[in-house]
């Protein structure tokens, strides 16, 4: 009776030990398989196929083209705005000064003027601040509109960023009054950004009527 009990305990102990050993082996295999699965998934996620790489390169190329095109459009627009500003500013400054001085002039100095040509010269008989007589002339010098008083240059009426390609004065006399017709062509920019505009004005001399 005692021997049977002992054998049973021994057999149970042996069986339990065997079961623990087999369980630990299975656990190790499961862990090993689990780790290998994770590694394989990790490698799959991090890897790129040739088609994917080509697709990414194509998308990046399209984005770069769009960025370059946008920047080019902005630069072109800015250049055009600056060119138009140069022309408008030069034309406004020149016409304002010529209109004022022609209107206030006593008469036209026909001997010192040249009418009708693309580089006309307009000479006016006028007076200074003190009421003393003087001659004032408008003329072109290296595509810049300049003004002189009594034969001495006093300054430029257009900016160096723009060029006056035509300056035409015409004398108009109705018998009762005298007037000057002005035609001035100003350009700015170079190449594809070159722009040219022509401006007209007619001014009546106050002293002529």
| Dihedral over alpha carbons 18, 24, 26, 30 (to 10 degrees) | 180
> Tens of pLDDT along 86-101?
999 999 999 999 999 9
> Tens of pLDDT along 143-167?
999 999 999 999 999 998 899 999 9
> Tens of pLDDT along 51-80?
888 888 999 999 999 998 888 888 888 888
pTM for the full predicted model: 0.65
Alpha-carbon separation of residue 75 from 9, 78, 81, 117, 197 (angstroms): 95, 5, 10, 38, 22
Residue 137 has pLDDT above 90, yes or no: yes
What is the average pLDDT across 169-195? 91
**What is the chain's mean pLDDT, rounded?**
82
Dihedrals phi, psi of 143, to nearest 5 degrees: 65, 20
> Tens of pLDDT along 194-204?
999 999 999 99
- 146-155 contact pairs (CB < 8 A, 24+): 147/97
* Per-residue pLDDT at 31: 57
C-alpha 170/C-alpha 182 separation (Å) is: 7
């Amino acid at each position: 009776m005692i021997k049977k009990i002992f054998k049973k305990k021994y057999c149970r102990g042996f069986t339990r030990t065997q079961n623990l050993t087999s369980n630990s082996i299975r656990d190790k295999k499961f862990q090993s398989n689990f780790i290998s699965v994770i590694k394989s998934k990790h490698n799959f996620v991090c890897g790129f196929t040739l088609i994917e790489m080509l697709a990414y390169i194509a998308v990046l190329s399209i984005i770069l083209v769009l960025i370059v095109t946008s920047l080019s459009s902005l630069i072109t627009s800015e250049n055009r705005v600056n060119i138009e500003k140069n022309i408008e500013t030069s034309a406004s400054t020149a016409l304002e000064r010529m209109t004022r001085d022609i209107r206030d002039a006593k008469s036209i100095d026909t001997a010192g003027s040249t009418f009708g040509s693309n580089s006309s010269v307009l000479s006016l008989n006028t007076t200074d601040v003190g009421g003393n007589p003087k001659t004032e002339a408008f003329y072109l010098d290296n595509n810049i509109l300049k003004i002189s008083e009594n034969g001495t240059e006093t300054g430029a009426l257009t900016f160096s960023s723009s060029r006056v390609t035509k300056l035409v004065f015409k004398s108009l006399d109705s018998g009762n009054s005298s007037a000057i017709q002005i035609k001035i062509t100003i350009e700015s920019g170079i190449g594809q950004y070159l722009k040219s505009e022509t401006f007209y004005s007619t001014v009546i001399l106050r002293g002529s009527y």
